[in-house]
Amino acid sequence: MSAPLLQVRDLKVHFQVRGAGLFAGTQALKAVDGVSFDLAAGETLGIVGESGCGKSTLGRAVLQLLPATAGSVAWLGADLTALDKTALKAQRQHMQIVFQDPLASLDPRMTAGDIIAEPLRNYHPDLSAVERKDRVKQMMDQVGLLPAMVNRYPHEFSGGQCQRIGIARAMILNPKLVVCDEPVSALDVSIRAQVINLLMELQSRFNLSMLFISHDLSVVRHISRRVMVLYLGRVMELADRDSLYAAPRHPYTQALISAVPIADPDKERAKPRVAVNDDLPSPLNPPSGCVFRTRCPKATEICARVSPPLQSAGAGHEVACHHWRD
Amino acid sequence: MSVLDIKNLTVRFATADGEVAAVSDVSLSVGKGECLGIVGESGSGKSQTFLAVLGLLAPNGRATGEVMFGNTNLLAADEKTLNGLRGDKLTMVFQDPMTSLTPHMRVGRQLTEVLIRHRNVNAAAARDQAIAMLRRVQIPEAERRFDMYPFELSGGLRQRVMIAMAMLCGPKLIIADEPTTALDVTVQAQILDLIRRAKDELNTAVILITHDLGVVAGLADRVGVMYAGRLVELGDVRQIFNAPRHPYTKGLLACTPRLDDTTVGTMPTIPGQPPNLQRLPTGCAYHPRCPAVMELCRVERPPLLATPTGSLNACFLENAS
């Protein structure tokens, strides 16, 4: 196996927020709290979790769109968090992002062609207008947009087409890494499958690495090679796709998987459910020890005292739970 | 005996570009204690159908046809009659629990208001009943939550409050429009359990509108599939999922990623995109995307007809095979 493209080590992103009350000091909201993983070239890592688990913050911190509080993000061996602005800009062309809301992430006053060409203007100002236009049209063709629509504005496109524009913009510089932050969540069922296929096709054609952030465990299963489960900013479980879905070790992963409705009436009605109690605790005041213990059916006294480290539970399978063997 | 009986419902909107039919000629009914799932993509008319039932269409919308709720034709009823039914025998749960609760009113008052208005009880009795209902929908510390404002509650708790409100007066029918779409998956499972219990314990009829086929599979007894404002298939939940007849239903099921699906690689898709209601294709609205399209489909619209298994299907293939 080749050296990983991306090595994230003990990454922390803490936000300072004002506490309740007029004279309260600031408190740290630990959105991402000590996340480590490797990403190889051409690999897709799915990142799942419920709202507020830090999955989007993690994606942005990897791209240095948010400053990391601690930890390192090594890109081909060089630490991105230590780079200055100019050096970081040079690296940025290799890493791109696709956002959730296809319309809101496109400038309404720019044409599709201008939007897709913007990264080229930024990084390859030497290209002539004709060359630029050619590359834009080529890219539009590759993402399934009619090149003839190059002069249209975002509002003239459907949601699925807007997402294709966003993908074309991310792909035009031939990046090595694309962070997809809920790229299909806003799309209709019939369009979602088309965009998933497009992402998978682009990935194999350009040997892309992807961080695929989603709350939808079914979509993540389809597109990822490995999957990371986040809860309150911490990694609960990280495993190969089939291993995670077939034999989840962490009680939170088990609860998540058992809660996903399956489009089959007999299976859906017969399946056992792992119950979790209560809603998410406040991320400002997370539980001591294991952050999941307040909702965990297996929690015991040790879980309140000791935060479980991520430990190996078989080949390529890591889990952060004191009781995963039970 | 059906609780709600919709006959030939059509909903048109007057827009700057002329009149648009969001719902065309929909007929369906739901019986006591039954859950009818309505699935479709955005713009399929699934929400507008039931907003018309509730008399909640936007001002430029107009509904024709007949909607019988008991002995009342809701489309012909005046505002006073509707107000007497809505919130009492006919209730609704909307998608976004933040925007459907009044932000400046305590949760308790929003609940007791329903009882005081429809049940003519005094404030103390209303409070007791409301708190009992909050317990019933498994809201922890119900007394304390009773005095809170909606913004102090999480999304899951707010949706529980909405369901408590919808169940307060012992409704005959609850219309739930994407009740769990804004919620996390573990919370979604709990909310669906609540709806299931309301249906089983109170024998309430439930109409569950959603784009999520998994949600429908778990809860519905019968399922209606809508496309471009029309019902294209309607049948028993097992028939719809195990032996779909309409090509659109088949396509939807095929392109839904499933958690229990271990296949990798390219997913089946439905080509193209849902039609613009202002420029509907001729004939069957699905024909430009249909893998089994025939010459007839381009010119004539297939009627919704009974199949040998008792379901309804609007496809010429049904008759051809």
- Could you read off the pLDDT of A233-262 as tens digits, one per residue? 999 999 999 999 999 999 999 999 999 999
CB B126 within 8 Å of CB B117: no
From the list B213, B189, B282, B216, the residue with the least C-alpha distance to A188 is: B213
Q: Which 8-state DSSP code applies to residue B30?
A: E
Chain B CB contacts of A216 below 8 Å: 257
- Which of B259, B260, B261 would you mutate first to test chain A, the one with the most A CBs within 10 A? B259
Q: Which amino acid is at A206?
A: F
Residue B265: predicted pLDDT: 82
Instruction: Report d(CA A137, CA A105) in Å as an integer.
Output: 20
| Residue B224: partners with Cβ closer than 8 Å, 6 or more residues away | B28, B36, B37, B38, B39, B231, B233, B234
Candidates A119, A167, A106, A159; CA nearest to A142 is A167
CATH code of the domain covering residue A66: 3.40.50.300
- Structural domain including B159 reads 101-168
The nearest CA of chain B is from the CA of A34 a distance in Å of 24
Does residue B184 share a domain with residue B109? no
State the Cα–Cα distance between residues A13 and A65, nearest whole angstrom.
11
CB-CB under 8 Å, A221 with B257: yes
Q: Are residues B144 and B247 in the same domain?
A: no
Question: Looking at the 3D structure of chain B, how many domains does it have?
Answer: 2
Q: Is B117 found in the same domain as B84?
A: no
Asked whether residue A103 is assigned to any structural domain, the reply reads no
Based on the fold, state whether residues B62 and B139 are members of the same structural domain.
no
Residues B79 and B181 in one domain: yes
Asked if A242's CB is within 8 angstroms of B266's CB, the reply is: no
> Radius of gyration of chain A from Cα atoms?
21
Of A158, A193, A279, the CB nearest to B154: A279
- Contact residues, chain A to chain B, C-beta under 8 Å: 50-51, 158, 160-161, 188-194, 196-197, 200-201, 215-219, 221-222, 242, 245, 255-269, 273, 276, 278-280
For residue A58, tell me if it sits in a domain: yes
Tokens found for residue B132: 């009992």
Q: What is the pLDDT of residue A23?
A: 74
Mean pLDDT of chain A: 91
Final residue before a domain boundary, out of B138, B168, B198:
B168
B56, B129: one domain: no
Q: CATH number of the domain that B11 lies in?
A: 3.40.50.300
Contacts of A264 in chain B (CB under 8 A): 217, 241-242, 258, 260
Boundaries of domain holding A311: 6-94+175-319
Of B185, B215, B268, the CB nearest to A256: B185
**Each residue of B45-60: pLDDT tens digit?**
999 999 999 999 999 9
Domain identity same for B58 and B184 = yes
User: Going residue by residue through chain B (321 aa), what tens digit of pLDDT does each one get?
Assistant: 799 999 999 999 998 888 999 999 999 999 999 999 999 998 899 999 999 999 999 999 999 999 999 999 999 999 999 999 999 999 999 887 778 899 999 999 999 999 998 988 999 999 999 999 998 888 888 999 999 999 988 888 898 899 999 999 999 999 999 998 888 888 888 889 989 988 998 899 999 999 999 999 999 999 999 999 999 999 999 999 999 999 999 999 999 989 888 887 889 999 988 898 888 999 999 999 999 999 999 999 999 999 998 999 999 998 665
> Distance between terminal CA atoms of chain B?
33
Cα of B56 to nearest chain A Cα, Å: 25
Residue A157 domain-assigned (yes or no): no
Last residue of a domain, one of B116, B150, B168: B168
Task: Give yes or no: residues B77 and B8 share one domain.
Answer: yes
Residue B231 lies in a domain: yes
The answer to whether A221 touches A253, Cβ cutoff 8 Å, is: no
Other beta carbons within 10 angstroms of residue A243's beta carbon come to: 18
- Per DSSP (E only), the strands in B51-168 are 61-69, 72-73, 90-93
CA A35 remoteness from chain centre = 13
Provide the 3-class DSSP secondary structure of residue B234: strand
The confidence band for A282, taking pLDDT boundaries of 50, 70 and 90, is confident
Nearest to A279 among B41, B187, B214 (CB): B187
* Chain B residues touching A188 at Cβ < 8 A: 41-42, 211, 274
Collapsing DSSP states into helix, strand and coil, what is residue A264?
coil
Cβ-defined contact of A192 to B184 (cutoff 8 Å): no
Cβ atoms A160, A144 nearer than 8 A: no
C-alpha A161/C-alpha A155 separation (Å) is 10
B266 shares contact with chain A (CB less than 8 Å): yes
Is pLDDT of A2 > 70? no
Residue B180 and residue B84 share a domain? yes
Q: Which chain A positions have a beta carbon within 8 Å of B157's beta carbon?
A: 279
Any domain includes A308: yes
Q: Token pair 């648009």 is at which residue? A: B20
Contacts with A194 from chain B: Cβ below 8 Å: 269, 271
Query: Which residues of chain B does A247 touch, with a Cβ-Cβ cutoff of 8 Å?
Result: none
Does a structural domain hold residue B144? yes
Burial class (CB in 10 A: 0-12, 13-18, 19+), A285: exposed
Query: How many angstroms separate the Cα of A129 from the Cα of each of A110, A135, A151?
Result: 16, 10, 14
Instruction: Tell whether B40 and B116 lie within a shared domain.
Output: no
Task: Enter the tokens of residue B12.
Answer: 């048109």
Distance, in Å, from the CA atom of A250 to the CA atom of A290, rounded to the nearest integer, reads 12
Q: How many domains does chain A have?
A: 1
H or E element: which one contains A199?
helix A189-206
Label residue B33 left, alpha or beta by phi (over 0 means left) and psi (-120 to 50 means alpha). left
Q: At what angle do helices A159-171 and A129-142 cross, to 10 degrees?
A: 130
Evaluate whether residue A135 is within a structural domain: no
Residues A290 and A270: their CA atoms lie apart, in Å, by 31
Q: SS3 sequence, A16-27?
A: EEECCCCCCCEE
Helix, strand, coil percent values for chain B (each to nearest 5): 35, 25, 40
Domain check: are B202 and B161 in the same one?
A: no
CA distances from B146 to A54, B88, B112, B134, B141 (A): 31, 20, 10, 8, 9
Residues of B within 8 A of A242 (CB-CB) are 262
CA B115 distance to own-chain centroid: 25
* Three-class DSSP category at A98: strand
Is residue B237, in this structure, part of any structural domain at all?
A: yes
For residue A44 the two structure tokens come to 């897709």
Does residue A113 lie in a domain region? no
Residue with the larger pLDDT of the pair B100 and A132: A132
| CA-atom Rg of chain B in angstroms | 21
Partner residue facing A190 (CB), from B189, B252, B258:
B252
Query: Would residue A122 count as lying in a domain?
Result: no
CB-nearest partner of A50 from B184, B252, B258: B184
- Whether residues B215 and B108 fall in one domain: no
Alpha-carbon distance of B277 to B48, in angstroms, equals: 13
State the alpha helices, DSSP H only, in A124-188: 129-142, 159-171
Q: Is residue A236 part of a domain?
A: yes
Tokens of residue B140, six digits: 């922890």
What's the burial of B158, exposed, middle or buried (CB within 10 Å: 0-12/13-18/19+)? Answer: buried
Chain A neighbours among B 148-167 (CB < 8 Å)?
154, 156-157
